[in-house]
Structure 1
Amino acid sequence: MKCYCVINFREPLVQQEVDTPVPSGKEVLLQVRAAGVCHSDIHLWEGGYDLGNGRTLALKDRGVSLPLIMGHETVGTLSAMGPDASGVELSRNYLVYPWIGCGQCPACLDGMENHCSAPRCLGIHRGGGYADHILVPDAKYLIDIGDLDAAQIAPYACSGLTTYSALKKIGAPIFQNHPIVIVGAGGLGLMCLSLLSALGGVGAIVVDIDPAKRQAALDAGALAAVDGAAPDAAQQILKALDGKPAQAFIDLVGAPSTTGIAFDCLTKGGKLIIIGLFGGASSWPIALIPMKAMNIVGSYVGNLSELRELIDLVRTGRISPIPIQRFALDEADATLTALRSGKITGRAVLTN
């Protein structure tokens, strides 16, 4: 099969021809129809995460080895099954849940494989969707999408699931009665706006340093869009909230500047959900965290049950599609480069 791999960190993806996997046991093989190019792939390509104060978290220390076929937002057509696979049908289209754990630890046994400390995630620890086929270890990770558009559905495996899980952590009593603040108006930010509306939210103030992305957020229904680089960004956010402190922030960037704005704008007892992996170190006054009774929550994608809930919501037609830019699989490296350069609005998807 044809695939595009990270051979060396920070170097262009390389096309390779490898043997097409043959599924055994409960494994299933899909012919890839669509593979999202996610901002997390940039961190994988770079080989690590910035922890601030001169420290980095190397991916090799998290079980990532090269060569690596990236791609964790994948839709494919089932083409082969191991003898023990069940509950799925050949030639049907499925969204793949990629956040696979060891299957034996307390987190996995509790249905929270995304919290597993020995993960086997597709596109990170195992071959992903930047290929014409993908091997999935168990049919239980497939979600039937019927005739839904593969390219439109693929990003729900990460950007959709991530923002859906974050909204659940905030809770409907908050977002259905108070505007929230979303930091970042890229693909995740637009997805979050769409899901917020579908879940009955009253709306969101969106923060981004890119004027084009701020306009995209307004076009998608944001109540207001604030330049995060403005010296008075916090004051602008509070003004957009009618002078009231924010009940909740979803930070899709995860930088010292963005979490700092959230810290300054949150009400007492407010929630800060941090998703973004931009990196750096925080300089929050620790005493103010208990004094403000802040809830600071790290949110890492979501679990399989949440993805099934999300696709059920998609089927209702209540979620407005976000902008999708489609590229051929052969454009994998150029697409990743465009995403790194901030030239993608919405989500980029490789199609076969």
Structure 2
Amino acid sequence: MISYKLFEYGKPLQRVESDLPEVGENEILLRVKAAGVCHSDLHIRHGAYDLGNGRQLSMADRGLPLPLTLGHEIAGTVVQTGAKVTNIELGRNYLVYPWQGCGTCAMCTAGHENLCPTANRSMGVYQQGGYSDHVLVTDARYLIDIGDMDPTEAAPYACSGVTTYSAMRKFDADIFRRETLVIYGGGGLGLMAVRIAKALDCPRIVVVDPDVRKRDAALDAGASTFISANGQSSAEDIRAAAGGRVYMILDCVGSSETVEQGLSLLAKGGKLVQVGLFGGHVDVPTPSMPLGVKGYQGSYVGSIDETKALIALVRDKQIPQIPTTTRKLEEANEALENLANGSAVGRQVLVP
């Protein structure tokens, strides 16, 4: 099989040709039909998260194995199953749930493997991922039947989709259906959030991004307003677009600037949920949180049940696909560079 692996942090991926892996009794081998390119892949290639104030969280310290095949947004066709695998059809397309934990702790057994505190087996992070023409999945419970859905459409729901879906479920449901949602970031994650928020009946959505090239994509996705973050009056513009008071902010960027501005914008009882990992550091006046009854919560991907619920929502509401550029597998490095320099609009998906 052909895979694109990271051998050294900060360096381009390398093409590797190898034998197909042996399939264990509980395992499933898929021929990859689509693998989404995510900002987390950039962080992994870089080798660290920026913690602000000159500090970093290195991937080596997190225990990531090199060489590593990147790619955690994976959809593919089953070509081989282990002897003990049941209810999985050869030749059928599935979405892979990549956020796998130890499988035995309280969080994992409750269905929240993405919150596993003692171990992590996430694909494309700790296990080999989808920048390949084949991928091995450790258990049938991680496969979600997508039927006749296009794999290039389905693949991004394994990360950008379930990340934004899970984050929006952390807002009060009544407030969500009544107030304006402000989204920082108009990239693939932000556009996915707009689509899903519309399907969840959020009445107004404001997208904030410094790149005006993303304006049309945001408005086409269903945003009520697009605001350039470069404007001197952007804070006032955001508040005005939200009807005078901001109760919900979904931060798909996660920089010092977006979090600090977002917390300052929140009305009494408002909440900011951060999913972006751009990096930085914020100083928060501690009395402002209880006095403003403000909420600030991080949200990391989502559970397998949330992923299944999202796929059902996509089918039920016929959520349109966000702008997607398909690229050949051998263009993996070019796709990462486009993501890094901000020239990609929507999602890029590698197709072997």
Shared fold (TM-score, shorter chain, > 0.5): yes
State the number of aligned residues. 351
Counterpart of 1:222?
223
Relative to the length of structure 1, the TM-score reads 0.98
Counterpart of 1:322?
322
Instruction: Check the 8 A contact 1:196/1:203 in 2, yes or no.
Output: no
Residues 148-179 of structure 1 deviation map (CA, whole Å, 9 limit, x = unaligned): 11101110000000011011111431221111
In the alignment, is residue 50 of structure 1 matched against residue 32 of structure 2?
Answer: no
**Alignment root-mean-square deviation, CA:** 1.0
What is the CA distance between 1:242 and its match in structure 2?
2.5
Q: Counterpart of 1:76 in structure 2: which amino acid?
A: G
Counterpart of 1:306?
306
Residues 183-236 of structure 1 deviation map (CA, whole Å, 9 limit, x = unaligned): 000001111111111111102111001001133212222111112232221111
2:318 and 2:15 mapped to 1: Cα distance? 39
What is the CA distance between 1:331 and its match in structure 2?
0.7
Counterpart of 2:234?
233
1:49 and 1:140 mapped to 2: Cα distance? 31
In the alignment, is residue 41 of structure 1 matched against residue 35 of structure 2?
Answer: no
What SS does structure 2 have at the residue aligned with 1:170?
coil
Residues 124-148 of structure 1 deviation map (CA, whole Å, 9 limit, x = unaligned): 0000000010011101100111111
1:220 and 1:108 mapped to 2: Cα distance? 34
1:258 and 1:318 mapped to 2: Cα distance? 31
Q: Counterpart of 2:184 in structure 1: which amino acid?
A: V
Counterpart of 1:25?
25
Instruction: Check the 8 A contact 1:250/1:272 in 2, yes or no.
Output: yes
Q: Counterpart of 1:336 in structure 2: which amino acid?
A: L
Counterpart of 1:348?
348
What SS does structure 1 have at the residue aligned with 2:135?
strand
2:125 and 2:232 mapped to 1: Cα distance? 38
Counterpart of 1:268?
268
What is the CA distance between 1:25 and its match in structure 2?
2.3
What SS does structure 1 have at the residue aligned with 2:64?
coil
What is the CA distance between 1:252 and its match in structure 2?
0.4
Counterpart of 1:77?
77
Q: Counterpart of 2:330 in structure 1: which amino acid?
A: D
Q: Counterpart of 2:26 in structure 1: which amino acid?
A: K
Q: Counterpart of 1:35 in structure 2: which amino acid?
A: A
Instruction: Check the 8 A contact 2:228/2:234 in 1, yes or no.
Output: yes
Q: Counterpart of 1:55 in structure 2: which amino acid?
A: R
Counterpart of 2:214?
213
Counterpart of 2:63?
63
| Moved beyond 4 Å, runs of 4+ | none
Counterpart of 2:97?
97
Counterpart of 2:145?
144
Relative to the length of structure 2, the TM-score reads 0.98
What SS does structure 1 have at the residue aligned with 2:169?
helix
1:304 and 1:210 mapped to 2: Cα distance? 33
2:262 and 2:220 mapped to 1: Cα distance? 24
Aligned-pair identity (%): 47
Counterpart of 1:189?
190
Instruction: Check the 8 A contact 1:228/1:258 in 2, yes or no.
Output: no
